[in-house]
């Protein structure tokens, strides 16, 4: 779990370092029709992480459950690949993202909550909960934390691509 949390911090710091330097116009500008702005990407990350916490808390309040052996073999790292385009579930669509500073504040707060949840329950207990991921299927709670890091990495790459289209990478 420590390794997963270190990766979570590393990606988060890189993303915030990139995003916090952007002016309001560039932050909210879409690179092309049908592509998310940096503002929408950050808002989406907050929405997803908030949902993950809510679902994990619900599972942690229930009796322990185990994931099947084959499900444990699902590599959450596949989420980081930008080769496969995945449509976000409707509830995770970033509609009306807040301004940059508020968005960063929201995102940092939800990340701190996720890390507190990990510290409070630990890897053994997180492995006894099931998270229903729309793309990966059922994964345990520890794998869900790993997914969050790879999901953020995927969208960090997306931000870099978007900024490259503006000549601002």
Per-residue tens of pLDDT for the chain, all 169 residues = 788 889 889 999 999 999 999 999 999 999 999 999 999 999 999 999 999 999 999 999 999 888 776 556 565 666 666 656 667 767 677 889 999 999 999 999 999 999 999 999 999 999 999 998 877 888 899 999 999 999 999 999 999 999 999 887 6
Report yes or no: 76 and 147 within 8 Å, Cβ to Cβ: yes
First-to-final CA distance of the chain: 32
- pTM for the model stands at 0.89
pLDDT value at residue 159: 96
Q: What does the angle CA 31 – CA 35 – CA 37 come to, to the nearest 5 degrees?
A: 60
How many CA atoms does the CB half-sphere of 126 hold within 13 Å? 22
Q: What is the pLDDT of residue 92?
A: 73
């Amino acid at each position: 779990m420590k390794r997963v949390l270190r990766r979570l911090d590393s990606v988060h710091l890189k993303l915030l370092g990139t995003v916090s330097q952007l002016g309001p116009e560039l932050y909210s500008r879409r690179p092309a029709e049908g592509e998310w702005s940096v503002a929408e990407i950050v808002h989406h990350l907050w929405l997803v992480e908030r949902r993950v916490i809510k679902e994990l808390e619900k599972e942690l309040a229930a009796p322990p459950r185990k994931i099947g052996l084959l499900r444990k073999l699902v590599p959450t790292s596949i989420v980081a690949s930008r080769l496969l385009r995945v449509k976000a579930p409707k509830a995770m669509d970033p509609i009306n993202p807040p301004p940059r500073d508020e968005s960063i504040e929201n995102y940092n707060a939800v990340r701190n909550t996720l890390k507190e949840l990990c510290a409070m329950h630990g890897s053994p207990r997180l492995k006894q909960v099931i998270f229903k991921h729309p793309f990966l299927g059922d994964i345990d709670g520890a794998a869900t934390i790993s997914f969050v890091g790879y999901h953020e990495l995927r969208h960090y790459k997306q931000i870099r691509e978007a900024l490259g289209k503006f000549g601002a990478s």
